Amino acid sequence: MSEKRTEISELGEFGLIDQLAKGALIKNPSTLKGIGDDGAVLDAGDQVTVVSTDLLLEGVHFDLAYTPLPHLGFKAVAVNVSDIAAMNAIPTQITVSLALSNRFSVEAVQALYEGIYAACEQYGVDLVGGDTTASRSGLVISVTAMGQAKKEQLSYRSGAKENDILCVTGDLGAALVGLQILEREKQVYLSNPDMKPELEKYTVVTGRQLRPDARMDIIHELRELGVVPSSMIDISDGLASEIFHLCKASGVGATIYEDKLPIDKQTFDTAVELNLDPITCVLNGGEDYELLFTIDQKDFTKLEKHPDVHFIGHITKAEEGKFLVTKSGTAVQIKAQGWKHF
Amino acid sequence: MSEKRTEISELGEFGLIDQLAKGALIKNPSTLKGIGDDGAVLDAGDQVTVVSTDLLLEGVHFDLAYTPLPHLGFKAVAVNVSDIAAMNAIPTQITVSLALSNRFSVEAVQALYEGIYAACEQYGVDLVGGDTTASRSGLVISVTAMGQAKKEQLSYRSGAKENDILCVTGDLGAALVGLQILEREKQVYLSNPDMKPELEKYTVVTGRQLRPDARMDIIHELRELGVVPSSMIDISDGLASEIFHLCKASGVGATIYEDKLPIDKQTFDTAVELNLDPITCVLNGGEDYELLFTIDQKDFTKLEKHPDVHFIGHITKAEEGKFLVTKSGTAVQIKAQGWKHF
Domains of chain A, CATH where assigned: 30-151 (3.30.1330.10), 157-333 (3.90.650.10)
- A233 CA to centre of own chain: 8
The partner residue sitting opposite B127, judged by closest CB among A7, A34, A49, is A34
DSSP string of B184-224, one letter each residue: HHHHHHHH-TTSPP--GGGHHHHHHHHS----HHHHHHHHH
How far is the alpha carbon of B148 from chain A, nearest alpha carbon, in Å? Answer: 9
Query: A332 and A326 in contact (C-beta within 8 Å)?
Result: yes
d(CA B211, CA A188): 50
Largest CA distance in chain A: 65
More confident position, B62 or A21:
B62
User: For A145, phi and psi rounded to 5 degrees?
Assistant: -115, 145
Residue B30 has pLDDT above 60, yes or no: yes
Residues of B in contact with A136 (CB under 8 A): 57, 59-60, 137-138
Query: Which residues, 6 or more positions from A227, have their beta carbon under 8 angstroms from its beta carbon?
Result: A295, A299, A302, A303
Residues of A in contact with B4 (CB under 8 A): 107
d(CA A198, CA A202): 8
Query: Which residues, 6 or more positions from B218, have their beta carbon under 8 angstroms from its beta carbon?
Result: B85, B169, B291, B308, B309
Residues of A in contact with B9 (CB under 8 A): 102
List, for residues B292-311, the tens digit of each pLDDT value.
999 999 999 999 999 999 99
Which helix (H) or strand (E) segment holds residue B255: the answer is strand B252-257
d(CA A70, CA B231): 37
d(CA A144, CA A147): 10
- What ipTM, to 2 d.p.? 0.88
How far apart, in Å, are the Cα atoms of A273 and each of A180, A198, A202, A277? 11, 14, 12, 10
The partner residue sitting opposite A51, judged by closest CB among B31, B129, B342, is B129
The partner residue sitting opposite A95, judged by closest CB among B53, B125, B148, is B53
Cβ separation of B131 and A45 shorter than 8 Å?
no
d(CA A98, CA A118): 17
Q: What is the CA radius of gyration of chain A?
A: 20
The partner residue sitting opposite B8, judged by closest CB among A45, A47, A102, is A102
Query: B205 and B181 in contact (C-beta within 8 Å)?
Result: yes
Q: CB pairs below 8 Å between A and B: how many?
A: 270
Nearest CA in chain B to A13: B132
Cβ separation of B97 and A11 shorter than 8 Å?
no
Cβ separation of B60 and A16 shorter than 8 Å?
no
How far is the alpha carbon of B194 from chain A, nearest alpha carbon, in Å? Answer: 17
d(CA A12, CA A8): 6
Cβ separation of A19 and B135 shorter than 8 Å?
no
Q: Of the segments A193-197, B153-157, B254-258, which one has the largest average pLDDT value? A: B254-258
Order of strands across the sheet with A40-44?
Answer: A31-33, A40-44, A47-57, A140-150, A90-100, A126-134
List, for residues B257-278, the tens digit of each pLDDT value.
999 999 999 999 999 999 999 9
List, for residues A258-294, the tens digit of each pLDDT value.
999 999 999 999 999 999 999 999 999 999 999 999 9
Query: B327 and B263 in contact (C-beta within 8 Å)?
Result: no
* B3 — pLDDT class (breaks 50, 70, 90): low
DSSP classification of residue A145: E
Cβ separation of A110 and B20 shorter than 8 Å?
yes
List, for residues A108-160, the tens digit of each pLDDT value.
888 999 999 999 999 998 988 888 888 887 899 999 999 988 888 999 999 99
How many residues belong to chain A? 342
d(CA B30, CA A89): 15
List, for residues B154-209, the tens digit of each pLDDT value.
999 999 999 999 999 999 999 999 999 999 999 988 888 888 777 889 999 999 99
How far is the alpha carbon of A43 from chain B, nearest alpha carbon, in Å? Answer: 9
